[in-house]
Structure 1
């Protein structure tokens, strides 16, 4: 038996998130998703008792079956409609995260050079310059392929998951924060740190949910240029920026 559903799946990242939930369903013969169609169709094949559990599995993945659609698909068409999913994620390790390590290393060297040029060490200035560089560099990689980033980000961020357009806005928020930290305007540091705190706190919630639930999906912190898996490294990254913004907020 074949059934076809209209869903709110939006991207390859969504399909990747759904995959383990469906493939762990005993008796499900095959399934496919077409996120390019207007109805975001999900097609499944199996016994009626198995197919009755599909909406629940979709819900467990964080998405929804909106309604059942009429279908006249033959068995051969089921596998042809499959949406390509993201490449297999590498195992977490130093080599996997080398791009991230190099970027953070460059940022630290840049901050150190600025402090040497200033003639004395000032922790608040060093943190401000680091955060400026962080947001400018990370927003750059996200903007290289904005749509792909938005698709990946919707797979785990608690806001982008509900409001898809937020994924298109988020890199510009990071760009604005980076420029604000770089400009160091005297009348707005509290506002900038407050915005950063809330933005990173919201981001961290989605990352924590993904890692603690052991979902294997791509981290979009550097856009989709690099195939980085979501892990505790991402938690540390977001947590560090959250902590720095809080310290600067308290310091005034």
Structure 2
């Protein structure tokens, strides 16, 4: 890459008694990893920061200079080095992948601790129950934000608005009861109810009405599109409830 030949860079970043700019640290780390020798200039107080901004006609720090030319801030540095800055509005399945991966690992670890074996039927049951709890946790971080997004497509919530607020609590309760293996008389119908209505609502919104909406399954700040993920979450709850009924009947 052509920029790799430019081995010296100048970085101006804010480091005061009250605040160390995280993007300044990121810029410093990125420059070093790319092989640059960095002249690291620390802006220690408000007077130095304001004077630097006025001198270079910029509104923010950090600022990077390479070969005497101002590159800009952290995102500009990423672009200069041939990368693509992260767009907060970009669709991402990373939160969902991370959540289900952690749920799976927790279930396997719990199974190993309880039975001395990771791959058990109980591990599969715990995976679904723990995933429900983690999904509920994401919603409970911002119940108001979740409920607003949920109202875009859930059929019951659109008729009874309070249901959008109650949903994450119900999901968490069902998951916890399934992990504990108690009060099946409550956890089974609860999972069937919220999972069934959720699945129907998502299917109608996405596959019948063809709406392009964001999924509220991992919280109100999610950039995951409504569709497969949310449908899987709801069918997972329904499937778990049916499985528990079969177990009880056996």
TM-score normalized by the length of structure 2:
0.58
Instruction: Name the one with the larger helix percent.
Output: 2
List, as ranges, runs of 4+ consecutive aligned residues in structure 1 with deviation greater than 4 Å: 87-91
Deviation at 1:139, TM superposition (A): 1.3
Give 1:13-162 correspondences, 5 Å limit.
90=90, 96-117=92-113, 118-120=115-117, 121-123=119-121, 125-162=122-159
The equivalent of 2:160 in structure 1 is 163
The equivalent of 1:192 in structure 2 is 187
Deviations 1:187-228 (A, max 9, x none): x22431232112100110100011112201111001113211
Which whole-Å CA distance do the structure 2 matches of 1:139 and 1:240 have between them? 14
- Contact kept, 8 Å, 1:217 with 1:230, in 2: the verdict is yes
Which whole-Å CA distance do the structure 1 matches of 2:94 and 2:120 have between them? 29
Gaps of 5+ in 1: 1-86
Which fold has the larger relative contact order, with Cα–Cα distance below 8 Å and residues 6 or more apart in sequence?
Answer: 1
Which whole-Å CA distance do the structure 2 matches of 1:106 and 1:136 have between them? 12
Choose the corresponding residue for 1:206, options 182, 201, 210. 201
The equivalent of 2:65 in structure 1 is none
The equivalent of 2:24 in structure 1 is none
- Contact kept, 8 Å, 1:152 with 1:218, in 2: the verdict is yes
Point out the structure with max Rg over C-alpha: 2
Q: Compared with structure 1, are the counterparts of its residues 240 and 174 closer, same or farther at alpha carbon in structure 2 (3 Å cutoff)? A: closer
2:243 aligned with 1:234: no
2:179 aligned with 1:182: yes
TM-score normalized by the length of structure 1:
0.58
Deviation at 1:244, TM superposition (A): 2.2
Deviations 1:31-66 (A, max 9, x none): xxxxxxxxxxxxxxxxxxxxxxxxxxxxxxxxxxxx
Q: Is the partner of 2:170 in helix, strand or coil?
A: helix
Which whole-Å CA distance do the structure 1 matches of 2:89 and 2:231 have between them? 18
Q: Compared with structure 1, are the counterparts of its residues 210 and 90 closer, same or farther at alpha carbon in structure 2 (3 Å cutoff)? A: farther
The equivalent of 1:49 in structure 2 is none
- Contact kept, 8 Å, 1:132 with 1:181, in 2: the verdict is yes
The equivalent of 1:50 in structure 2 is none
